Copies of this chain bind each other. A is one copy, B any other.
Amino acid sequence: MKLSEVAKLIGGELTGSGEIDIINIGKIESALGNEITFIANPVYEKYFNGTAAGAVIVSKRFNPERYERLDGKKIPLIRVEDPYLAFLELLDILSPKTELQKIGIHETAVIDDTAEISDEDVRIGAHSFIGAKVKVGKRVSILPNTVILAGSEIGDDVLIYPNVTINAGTVICRKVIIHSGTVIGSDGFGQARNPDGTFQKIPQKGIVVIEEDVEIGSNCSIDRATIGKTIIHKGVKLDNQIQIAHNVEIGENTVIAAQSGIAGSTRIGKNCMIGGKVGIVGHIEICDNVILTAASNVSKSITKPGIYSGYRAQPQMMELRQEALMRNMMKKKE
């Protein structure tokens, strides 16, 4: 695609020749002459001088004269309001669309007679299994070797990657994306101790509900409720290897980074940002708009929005002061 066309597509202002052909997007450190790159974060401006890219998308506030190139070369620029958004748009335009799964039901898929599969552009991959009374909505893609057990409902436009397990009775709403290895609706960890020290399994009879626009990473575990529902509200984004125990509820648009775990019956509010490797005990509440930094552990309810961190999470200001105190004491010893 000619650079002048690229500029038009992303609504930018071209400086320099629009004649070169752009075939891909690259990182500023490694882009080649037929690739375009971008600077969204000023940290990357230091690479401007040396990049081999054919063109650079920059902010309208970017001043190339401050970064004169030693080789005297003038790289064509496209100036836009928000280079990152422009990059996202272009990424979508330039990337080849890989069709992950053909329309139709693969001949090796096993579909129960009582399952209800929409006839509108559904894709069901090889060796997948759709159990009794499962409902599959329009334009759903289910990739190879995924298992959906009896009574589950899969909303329109859902995308499920290979080797996923959806246990019986799970409700997945519209436009949800689930990555490989993830298990939804396995039994909650409920064990009642007998007088002789052995344990009796507490039947796990509830379900899991995943609301619309949720994305769930690879190798996550989301347990069914003992009674009632484990709920992931709409717009929640979960990274990989996250553990969500029975009866947990996660509020709208909360994001959780990889390897975090939330114990049973805990409720997380809306718009929270939870870092990686965070642990949250059971039966507590985290209010809306809480930020938990990576590796923090929470053992009490949090009732005020703000940033919390630490091995025993506390308001970040407290944590920082405590660390400063420790450093001071170390210095006095020296």
Contact = CB atoms under 8 A, between A and B. Distances in A.
Contacts of A323: 312
Interface in A125-183: 125-127, 129, 143-145, 147, 149-151, 161-165, 167-169, 177, 179-183
Contact of A221 (B92, B169, B218, B318): B218
Contacts of A191: 215, 237, 255
A163 to B, nearest CB: 5
The interface centre, meaning the residue of A239, A281, A311 with most chain B CB atoms within 10 A of its CB, is A239
Contacts of A179: 183, 186-187
A3 interface: no
Nearest to A206: B27
In this complex, the interface size class of chain A, counting residues with CB under 8 Å from chain B, is 35 or more
B258 A259 contact: no
Given A30-B228, A192-B84, A259 B261 contact: yes
Count this chain's copies in the assembly. 3
A221 B203 contact: no
B297 A189 contact: no
Nearest to A236: B199
B161 A165 contact: yes
9 contacts: A88-B200, A88-B203, A106-B110, A181-B219, A183-B218, A197-B252, A241-B243, A281-B294, A325-B333
Interface of A: 25-27, 30, 84-85, 88, 91-92, 95, 98, 100, 106, 108, 110, 125-127, 129, 143-145, 147, 149-151, 161-165, 167-169, 177, 179-183, 186-187, 189, 191-192, 197-203, 205, 213, 215, 217-221, 223, 227-228, 235, 237, 239-241, 243, 245, 252-253, 255, 257-259, 261, 263, 270-271, 276-277, 279, 281, 294-295, 297, 299, 311-312, 318, 321-323, 325-326, 329-330, 333
